[in-house]
Structure 1
Amino acid sequence: MATSTGDSKGRRRGRRPGGSDTRAQLLEAARIEFASRGFEGATVRMIADRAGVDPAMVNHWFGGKDALFTAALDLPVDPAALLTSVLPGDPEKLGERIVATFLKVWDATGGGPLAAIIQSVASHEEAARMMREFITVVLVGRVVSAVAPDRPQLRAALCGSQLFGMGMVRYVLKLEPLASADHATLVAAIAPNLQRYLTGDL
């Protein structure tokens, strides 16, 4: 794997032979850069330099920095698509849309990737840092900032605790009856509290 030396001649331009290798190199480089510099500090150019490819390959394979970040976390989600699906509509129904979308995404994978992430962040600080940034910067923070009347950081943290707490109980502990409850039941039970975190009085 080529490393960044400040000499642009050392970096290959364009797509590596064997496209899957380019994608894997970018993911490996992204995990290192995001873990050491954080989401804001790591740039597309830094990641591409570490992977030894042209920065355009990030857009080619992932569509941008946000999607590369979630791919590096091994999350089966597209932040842009999720924001597009939950933000439009009545702000007072946002909690319902978020819980329903969360369940739809994770149930489609059997909860396996989420369970792996939760277990990983419990023992690896780098994974924990990346997940914190996913919650506060990449996804939940953006949703909250669109509707929050005040204290957006606290609201984002509370929303994260609600969603990932639900994920822990449903997919890791598999505590019944929550583990097998239908979506309508969980939305009705959890969304009102999430909505208070989003727009209500704290």
Structure 2
Amino acid sequence: MTPPTGRPSGTSDSRERILASARKLFAAKGFQQTSLRSIAADAGVDVALISHYFDHKRGLFLAVADIPIDPAQVVSRLHDVPIEHMGSALLRQVLTIWSSPAGPGLIAVFRSSLGGEPEIVRDLVTNLVAPALRARLLDSVSDVDQRLPLAATQITGVMVVRHILQIEPVASMSIDQVVKAVGPNVDRLLTGDLE
């Protein structure tokens, strides 16, 4: 008997059940410890239906977090940036995305994280953003696992001051002004002297 082809079977509310189960399990166990099979079982659907709706685990996670852009795409744009300027380039990418139509969704996710639900943002950073940055920096610095969280403090601080707290003059500075002021410090934290 040949397996059925085409769209996996599922009720019309399957996508919402998958999202609800994924949200619950990602929050309880984290990204790495949550399998697609466990989500499918909790939602009462075939695991193939998750792939149909979300392509892969990362896609499901991004849908749960309601993040309108894949962080891997942001990091991939840094491929040709000289390593010593990667921090400034990353900061520019993040500022540009947060100032785009995707910004309100990111701000909402970030606010919920600051309000006592840090799991989604922490998993987003540690499991989707950091590995790609780590791979890029590994040949240049030996202490990359120390440097990435340090650089994250700078970028996160800028996002909080600019978009959450809206403290002036940072809230109304141009992206170029913010990158010029803060970018060199992010560069240093990623690849410069930490002494």
Shorter-chain TM-score range? 0.7 to 0.9
Give, in whole Å, the separation in 1 of the partners of 2:31 and 2:96. 26
Which of 60, 65, 75 pairs up with 1:68? 60
| Structure (1 or 2) with the greater helix fraction | 1
Residue 43 to residue 199, structure 1, CA distance change in 2 (3 Å): same
Gap regions ≥5 residues in structure 1: 1-12
1:141 shift after superposition: 4.1
Percent identity, aligned pairs only, is 32
3-state SS of 1:108 partner: coil
RMSD, aligned α-carbons = 2.1
TM-score scaled by length of structure 2: 0.84
Give, in whole Å, the separation in 1 of the partners of 2:191 and 2:9. 46
Does structure 2 conserve the Cα–Cα contact (< 8 Å) formed by 1:44 and 1:55?
Answer: yes
3-state SS of 1:49 partner: helix
Gap regions ≥5 residues in structure 2: 1-6
Residue matched to 1:87: 79
Alignment deviations for residues 43-78 of structure 1 (CA, whole Å, 9 cap, x no partner): 111112222222223332222112221221222221
Alignment deviations for residues 123-154 of structure 1 (CA, whole Å, 9 cap, x no partner): 32xx2123222222221343134204123332
TM-score scaled by length of structure 1: 0.81
Give, in whole Å, the separation in 2 of the partners of 1:190 and 1:172. 18
1:170 aligns with 2:165: no
Residue matched to 1:131: 121
Alignment deviations for residues 147-169 of structure 1 (CA, whole Å, 9 cap, x no partner): 04123332221122111111111
Q: Matches of residues 108-127 of structure 1 in structure 2 within 5 Å?
A: 108-109=100-101, 111-124=103-116, 127=117
Does structure 2 conserve the Cα–Cα contact (< 8 Å) formed by 1:159 and 1:198?
Answer: yes
Does structure 2 conserve the Cα–Cα contact (< 8 Å) formed by 1:25 and 1:51?
Answer: yes
3-state SS of 1:197 partner: helix
1:110 shift after superposition: 7.0
Residue matched to 1:192: 184
* Structure with higher RCO (Cα < 8 A, 6+ apart): 2
Q: After TM superposition, where is structure 1 displaced by more than 3 Å over at least 4 residues in a row?
A: none
Does structure 2 conserve the Cα–Cα contact (< 8 Å) formed by 1:115 and 1:168?
Answer: no
Aligned length, in residue pairs: 186
Q: Matches of residues 143-154 of structure 1 in structure 2 within 5 Å?
A: 143-148=133-138, 149-154=141-146
1:22 aligns with 2:18: no
Residue 65 to residue 113, structure 1, CA distance change in 2 (3 Å): same
Does structure 1 conserve the Cα–Cα contact (< 8 Å) formed by 2:9 and 2:49?
Answer: yes
Residue matched to 1:106: 98
